[in-house]
Amino acid sequence: MSTASALSSSLKHHLAFGLRFPQNHALCRRNAARLTTSRSFTVAMAATPTSPLEVCVKASVTTPNKLGDCPFCQRVLLTLEEKHLPYDMKLVDLGNKPEWFLQISPEGKVPVAKLDEKWVPDSDVITQSLEEKYPDPPLVTPPEKASAGSKIFSTFIGFLKSKDPSDGTEQALLNELSSFNDHIKENGPFINGEKVSSADLSLGPKLYHLEIALGHYKNWSIPDTLPYVKSYMKTLFSLDSFIKTRASPDDVIAGWRPKVMG
């Protein structure tokens, strides 16, 4: 579905819009009903976007007009989905970056989102801004739990790139996964308990890449001795928002090939 672009007229010709409306519209009804009255004044509590939010993400390298394999892009899209915010998804070919994209992202990186008429880079900044601007439903992870699983991604990359089976990179990954297994055992099913939060939306795409890339390049999978990690991944990967925003396995495999072969 196409929609009117908020970009300058010089850029409009080059943009292909992918309008996304989250399937759960109950939030709109809740926001409409959530009013506070002070004397004769009635004020709506929750902010809602006046138009779909624009976000630039990596395009697939295997299938035309499909979402690519960037876990940081998926994190932003997951946040938009879980907050039930409509958005325009702009697919960017990072192998041949168009001029309109370089005008709004001089470093040529994704994701980039347009917030308050400014293009904002970095998934950390974007998701924090979305939380502040659209706080309902809340996705904040308490500080004492926010770092759970935060070292898994770096140890995964180290193991994936390793050429030496005895260099300790596999054990380093297993140590981080074991620590996370203990956290989910005590706090699950999600990092902050019963409801998904921002930490899950950050870690989930990385675990998805881990599962596919290590399975393909090393014939490796999460061991059965870590049942809570496996259950966590299954639960998170089955969310409607995750299914809607995930990359294809072929794109994930292609995306990691340069690091593995490099």
Residue 121 covered by a domain? yes
Give pLDDT, residue 50.
79
Query: How many structural domains comprise the chain?
Result: 1
Residues 6+ apart with CB under 8 A from 57: 67, 68, 70, 73, 76, 77, 89, 90, 91, 92, 110, 111
pTM: 0.84
Residue 68 covered by a domain? yes
Residue 3 covered by a domain? no
Instruction: Give the residue numbers annotated as catalytic, written as ranges.
Output: 70
pLDDT tens for each residue of 133-190: 999 999 999 999 999 999 999 999 999 999 999 999 999 999 999 999 999 999 999 9
Contact 259, 214 (CB under 8 A): no
Q: What angle do CA 147, 153, 159 make, to 5 degrees?
A: 140
Give pLDDT, residue 27.
40
CA distances for 219 relative to 176, 215, 230, angstroms: 19, 4, 17
pLDDT in tens, the chain (262 residues): 433 333 333 344 344 445 555 554 444 333 433 333 333 322 334 467 779 999 999 999 999 999 999 999 999 999 999 999 999 999 999 999 999 999 999 999 999 999 999 999 999 999 999 999 999 999 999 999 999 999 999 999 999 999 999 999 999 999 999 999 999 999 999 999 999 999 999 999 999 999 999 999 999 999 999 999 999 999 999 999 999 999 999 999 999 999 999 7
CATH of the domain at 58: 1.20.1050.10
Which range marks the domain in which residue 143 is found?
A: 53-261
Q: Which of 118, 159, 123 is nearest to 7 (CA)?
A: 118
Residue 107 covered by a domain? yes
